[in-house]
Amino acid sequence: MTKRVVITGVGTVNALGNSVAEFWPRLLAGETGIAKITTFDVSAFKAQIAASVKDFAIENWGVDKKESKRMSRFIQFAVAASLEAVRDSGFDIKSDPEEVGVIVSSGIGGLEIIEEAHRTLLDKGPAKISPFVVPMMIADSASGAVSIQTGAKGVNMAIVTACASGTHSVGEAFEWIKRGQAKAVLAGGAEACITPVCLGGFCAARTLCSDSNDAPQKACRPFDASRSGFVMGEGAGILFLEEMESALQRGAKIYAEVVGYGATGDAYHITSPAPEGEGAARAIKMALREAGLTPEDIDYINAHGTSTELNDKFETQAIAGIFGADTKVNISSTKGALGHCLGAAGGLEAVILAKTVETEQLPPTLNYQTPDPNFPQLDFTPNKSVRRTVRAAMSNSFGFGGHNAILVFKKFQK
């Protein structure tokens, strides 16, 4: 029998806060975490801003100092957000460790470790490279570390699909529990990619906003006619997904029910989405079909909304093609506040989606001033959060290489 899946815990580290309680009110208030990069010299870079995590210390989560030194930054983010999600859920993993899994992904992994090791290689030779370089840099290490720190012994994997990684992780965790192969799964994504190589690479690809270095709060402008590129972000977003009967039996708080997941490929281009969002539209249809919902049932969409020309255009066309150009659905991109966290974006936006369904407060799209005449004019929830009834909500994620992933959550009812 197919199991129902609910969300009983949420956790995050991001540019607006190191916990859900810290970041959520700031997100709703329209604050942004985007600022000048200070961790390395950016004077030679065209883009000099990012949404960096601030005042973070993994020791605050009870992680042993010796252990923390063997974790790269993205791993530490994943562990902190996962421990928060577990605590929030109230689930005792030690009572049933083999029934709890971990699917925590990263698009890039420990890039700063690779850069440091390369400098060591050139300056001091291979004998001076740390024996922990490999386990600190590979993308699956976050999932492994979360398992070690929480004691979860069920399914353990990492999905790497660029900026769709976190959403695919939550979707696959949903399917795993639905099939009865786990009682609960920690799922989401983590990324710490604000490094010289990554910044330089995206600058070279001309995908970053470089016209607002002196006004970082206005740099990311999703869906606005003046948008000029995305802003890098970092952090983690983790959900504790649980089989419904388990949650009810222990009287757990339920944020939302996970009801739909869609995953498709564009088969089109290494970076550009398929024209008119063809692949995205198929994924949306797939998620709605699994959820047993119609477009009219969706009250809110957390858009991928990167503030890049083609993504915003094609995503809007995909939404309008399915929901209608006159749809009343509220749409927002939260990347104006949190930056684009690449492999962590989908996990973080899943946390936002769960909180939106729970609170019926919709975060805004920052810096939306001028409608773009080149695509349908939808309700992008400009600049201020709004309240409305949220029966069901959807999150979109699209990654380089043509990876599309969609999640649908709805208000929980027995």
Catalytic positions are: 163
In the chain, the amino acid numbered 153 is K
Q: Is the dihedral of CA 51, 56, 61, 63 positive or negative?
A: positive
Query: What CA–CA distance (Å, rounded) separates 204 from 259?
Result: 40
* 317-319-324-329 Cα dihedral, nearest 10 degrees: -140
Bin 30: left if φ > 0, else alpha if -120 < ψ < 50, else beta.
left
Strand (E) or helix (H) holding 321 = helix 309-323
Q: Which residues contact 122 (CB under 8 A, 6 or more apart)?
A: none
Tokens in use for 336? 């104006």
For residue 352, which of 283, 406, 301 has the smallest C-alpha distance?
Answer: 301
Query: What CA–CA distance (Å, rounded) separates 263 from 173?
Result: 13
Tokens in use for 322? 């399915």
394 three-class SS:
strand
Let me know: does 15 contact 191? Beta carbons within 8 Å: no
Phi, psi of 334 (to 5 degrees): -95, 10
Tokens in use for 369? 């001033």
132 three-class SS:
coil
Bin 277: left if φ > 0, else alpha if -120 < ψ < 50, else beta.
left
Let me know: does 408 contact 259? Beta carbons within 8 Å: yes
The DSSP line for 263-303 is EEE--S-SSSPPGGGHHHHHHHHHHHHHHT--GGG--EEE-
